[in-house]
């Protein structure tokens, strides 16, 4: 059952989308309002370092303002359909998680944005930062995570680490990851009238409209004009990749998401292909896409963030 605060949150999100006209025009809104990441002063008690490595790959490091040597890393990749940059949502999450321990830092990838930069730019940048981090930190001291498109990037990164026979991160956290850019899973249709962000409660998703969404939806900015079959390339859609070697993982997804199956199918594949896999999946009733990253005034979001905190501590300490 959805909590009272969760119900209020869903109502406010729905109202805001309808009143502002963002509903159905999310991509236009993001493209017209996005800003490049610029340096800013950290909150009192914290340090934020801006880094740039070869090929102009950028990332930020959040840590407590102490003299303690950093020994553990949460490497997080933000969402936003690859067209939206970093925002206060991710900065606040980073402060929250690096606050757990003095020797824990949160590394945020500041990937290049589509449509100016398309696949595989962001995947390559994610790997560049991974290689940079593992020069100093052992993989067993790193957790990789991401939400939505960032969850997509994080999952492809982990698969590429495995494919290249490198040591895996200690664990991974995926929040509503996009794992199928062909949008072929059943929940796209089944949850279309429930999904308050991307669906429409007034009409079912027809085959014709689905085909149109593939051409005009958010996905086109990242992958360009390619065929449905090409979108099933595991480097784009990790659900079609290999999970025989995969780290311990924690998944979050809302029950009403069109992307519900993007999580459930991957979780089932991990369990099927990797008999020793440790995977936990939390399907939160009535919750929207990426619900854990939003305000902790919502009970479900607060519970999810507390779970993530415990998961970080259990696996890195």
Each residue's pLDDT expressed in tens, for the chain with a length of 317 residues:
899 998 988 888 888 877 776 766 777 777 777 777 878 889 999 999 999 998 889 999 999 999 999 999 999 999 999 999 999 999 999 999 999 999 999 999 999 999 999 999 999 999 999 999 999 999 999 999 999 999 999 999 999 999 999 999 999 999 999 999 999 899 988 998 999 888 888 888 887 877 777 776 777 889 988 888 999 999 999 999 999 999 999 999 999 999 999 999 999 999 999 988 899 999 999 999 999 998 778 999 999 999 999 999 999 99
Nearest-angstrom CA–CA distance, 159 and 50: 27
Nearest-angstrom CA–CA distance, 298 and 303: 9
State the distance between the two ends of the chain, measured CA to CA, in whole angstroms.
Answer: 34
- pLDDT at 21 (0 to 100): 66
Burial category of 314 from C-beta neighbours within 10 Å (exposed 0-12, middle 13-18, buried 19 and up):
exposed
| 72-77/46-52 β-pairing | unpaired
Task: Tell me the β-bridge partners of 146.
Answer: 77, 174
Contact 251, 174 (CB under 8 A): yes
Q: What is the pTM of this model?
A: 0.95
Q: Which CATH number belongs to the domain containing residue 150 in this structure?
A: 3.40.50.1820
User: What is the residue range of 305's domain?
Assistant: 4-316
Q: Considering its fold, how many domains does the chain have in total?
A: 1
Task: Give strand ranges (E) for 71-118.
Answer: 72-77, 104-109
- pLDDT at 25 (0 to 100): 72
């Amino acid at each position: 059952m959805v909590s009272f605060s969760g119900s209020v949150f869903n109502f406010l999100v729905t109202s805001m989308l309808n009143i502002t006209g963002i509903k159905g025009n999310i991509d236009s809104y993001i493209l017209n309002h996005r800003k490049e990441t610029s340096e800013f002063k950290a909150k009192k008690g914290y340090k934020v370092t801006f880094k740039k490595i070869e090929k102009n790959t950028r990332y930020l490091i959040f840590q407590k303002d102490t003299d303690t040597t950093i020994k553990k890393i949460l490497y997080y990749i933000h969402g936003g359909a690859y067209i939206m940059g970093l925002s206060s949502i991710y900065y606040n999450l980073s402060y929250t998680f690096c606050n757990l321990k003095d020797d824990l830092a949160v590394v945020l990838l500041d990937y290049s944005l589509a449509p100016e930069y398309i696949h595989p730019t962001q995947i390559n940048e994610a790997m560049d930062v991974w290689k940079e981090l593992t020069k100093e930190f052992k993989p067993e001291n790193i957790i990789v995570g991401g939400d939505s498109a960032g969850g997509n990037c994080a999952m492809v990164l982990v698969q590429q680490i495995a494919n290249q026979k490198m040591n895996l991160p200690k664990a991974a956290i995926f929040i509503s990851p996009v794992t199928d850019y062909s949008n072929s899973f059943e929940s796209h249709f089944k949850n279309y009238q429930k999904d308050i962000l991307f669906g429409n409660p007034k009409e079912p998703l027809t085959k014709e409209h689905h085909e149109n969404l593939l051409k005009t939806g958010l996905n086109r900015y990242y992958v360009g004009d390619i065929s449905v079959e090409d979108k099933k390339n595991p480097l784009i859609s990790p659900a079609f990749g290999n999970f025989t070697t995969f780290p311990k993982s924690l998944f979050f997804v809302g029950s009403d998401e069109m992307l519900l199956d993007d999580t459930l199918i991957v979780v089932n594949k991990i369990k099927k292909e990797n008999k020793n896999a440790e995977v936990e999946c939390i399907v939160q009733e009535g919750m929207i896409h990426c619900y854990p990253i939003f305000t902790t005034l919502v009970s479900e979001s607060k519970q999810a963030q507390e779970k993530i905190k415990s998961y970080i501590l259990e696996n890195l300490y």
